[in-house]
Amino acid sequence: MTKRVSSKELDYGSDGLYYLDDQPFTGIIEYRPESGWLEAEEEYKNGLQWGLSRKWHRKGVLEWEAECAFGARHGLCREWDEAGHLIAEDHYEFGVRVHGKQWDSKGNLTEEFEIQESDPGFELLQAFRTAYERDRNEE
């Protein structure tokens, strides 16, 4: 069974990891304001954000959902308005947005994005990809 804890129960280490009882945390962190409603939850593995992260609008409608790995967004990320309309869908690698689309509340496409070599995050993305492949090949 997956362990669920309040964000207030965890310690953030100088190494960038989240800890529970001096151990890197694996499980789900819940974020609840004083009123007690579930505002957000994030999955963690060995102290790093890893898995699904979700945040809800105050009325309980999902606001966004993001796949995460390596402590950053990595995979599909989607966002909805308070009426439940999909307004953004992005794909990330190692925390860098590589492509995506945005819509207005009527479903009209307002933006399409594809990372370009001239984008500030492109060089970082290439460095992460290279390091990841190198590490995979060493295993």
What's the Cα-to-Cα distance from 70 to each of 67, 73, 90, 121, 133, rounded to whole Å? 11, 8, 18, 17, 14
Report the SS3 class of residue 6: strand
What local confidence, expressed as pLDDT, does residue 137 receive? 85
- 115, 98 Cβ separation under 8 angstroms: yes
What local confidence, expressed as pLDDT, does residue 30 receive? 97
Nearest to 133 by CA among 104, 94, 105: 94
Domains, in order of start, for the chain: 4-138 (3.90.930)
What local confidence, expressed as pLDDT, does residue 122 receive? 97
What local confidence, expressed as pLDDT, does residue 105 receive? 87
Which portions of the chain are predicted below pLDDT 50?
A: none
In terms of residues, how long is the chain?
Answer: 139
pTM: 0.87
**Cα 43 to Cα 54: distance, rounded to the nearest angstrom:** 9
What local confidence, expressed as pLDDT, does residue 129 receive? 94
Q: pLDDT by residue (tens digit) across 6-22?
A: 999 999 999 999 999 99
What local confidence, expressed as pLDDT, does residue 1 receive? 84
